[in-house]
């Protein structure tokens, strides 16, 4: 059985899978290919997640993250073909969006009326390009949803407690980095994303932020901690009929 955490808001379900080490594949449960598991194993993990959450497998949407700002909508996106993008959105019922994460942040968005969901992948490169803010713009332009009508959950990800970066990253986020020494900084990606969302008009009261750090908590995959032996979790959000 997949270990995960899930939450419900009306017709919307969202959450994140755990690493599930010691089962499924050599790296545990993973929804993206790694150096040490096969595409068939990944496919099996994806299918089991959809079945556990009670979504038809063809309606479970996955993607190949490219650390860019491409955000695509269903039904244009094609499930199981790992479309290259870092954000997905839909108003199609009985659809599950799965964002692949292992230290990067899953930004999960839903509307007050539970008719719209979105999943965005925001590592430091995505945050530097303000993909979360761009996502809010896309939802406004496509569906005319006002930012104040949106809710957001930031998934467990690398936290300011352990997310060490160099000056090449710090230069983009001086207000969200704390110096450890002359070359190393602790980066608060979650705070940077929250600021981008609020700048677009999403109320702070409607943004929920997980306190968990993927680097420190071994219940989660962490590429920074485990390297090639890290799988990828699903930060998932679905909408039911």
Dump pLDDT digits (tens) for 50-60. 999 999 999 99
> Which of 35-39, 96-100, 234-238 has the lowest average pLDDT?
35-39
Q: What is the dihedral of CA 78, 102, 107, 118, to 10 degrees?
A: 10
pLDDT given for residue 78 in this prediction: 55
Question: What percent of the chain stands above pLDDT 70?
Answer: 96
Task: Check pLDDT > 80 for residue 19.
Answer: yes
Beta-carbon contacts of 182 under 8 Å, excluding residues fewer than 6 positions away, are: none
Dump pLDDT digits (tens) for 83-94. 788 999 999 999
Model confidence at 213, in pLDDT bands (50, 70, 90)?
Answer: very high
Q: Which parts of 4-122 are beta strand (E)?
A: 4-9, 12-17, 60-61, 63-64, 71-73, 83-84, 87-90, 95-101, 105-111, 117-122
**Global pTM exceeds 0.85:** yes
Task: Check pLDDT > 90 for residue 68.
Answer: no
Domains and CATH numbers, the chain: 4-157+207-239 (3.60.140.10)
Please give the Cα distance from 77 to 149 (Å, whole number).
Answer: 25
Model confidence at 77, in pLDDT bands (50, 70, 90)?
Answer: low
Mean pLDDT rounded to a whole number for the chain: 94
Model confidence at 82, in pLDDT bands (50, 70, 90)?
Answer: low
80 phi and psi, to 5 degrees? 70, 0
């Amino acid at each position: 059985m997949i270990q995960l955490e899930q939450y419900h808001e009306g017709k919307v379900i969202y959450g994140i899978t755990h690493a599930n080490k010691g089962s499924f594949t050599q790296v545990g449960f993973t929804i993206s290919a790694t150096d040490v598991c096969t595409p068939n194993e990944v496919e099996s993990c994806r299918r089991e997640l959809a079945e556990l959450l009670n979504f038809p497998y063809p309606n479970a949407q996955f993607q190949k993250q490219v650390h860019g700002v491409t955000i695509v909508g269903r039904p244009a996106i094609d499930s199981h073909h790992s479309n290259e993008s870092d954000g997905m959105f839909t108003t199609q019922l009985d659809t599950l969006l799965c964002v692949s994460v292992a230290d990067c942040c899953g930004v999960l968005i839903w509307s007050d009326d539970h008719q719209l969901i979105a999943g965005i992948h925001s590592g430091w490169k995505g945050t530097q390009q303000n993909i979360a803010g761009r996502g809010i713009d896309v939802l406004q332009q496509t569906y005319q949803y006002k930012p104040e009508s949106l809710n957001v959950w930031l998934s467990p990800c690398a936290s300011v407690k352990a997310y060490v970066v160099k000056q090449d990253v710090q230069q983009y986020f001086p207000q969200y980095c704390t110096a450890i020494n002359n070359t190393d900084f602790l980066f608060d990606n979650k705070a940077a994303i929250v600021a981008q969302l609020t700048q677009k008009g999403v109320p702070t009261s409607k943004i929920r932020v997980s306190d968990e750090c993927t680097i420190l908590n071994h219940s989660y995959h962490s590429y920074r901690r485990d390297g090639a032996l890290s799988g990828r979790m699903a930060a998932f959000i679905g909408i039911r009929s």
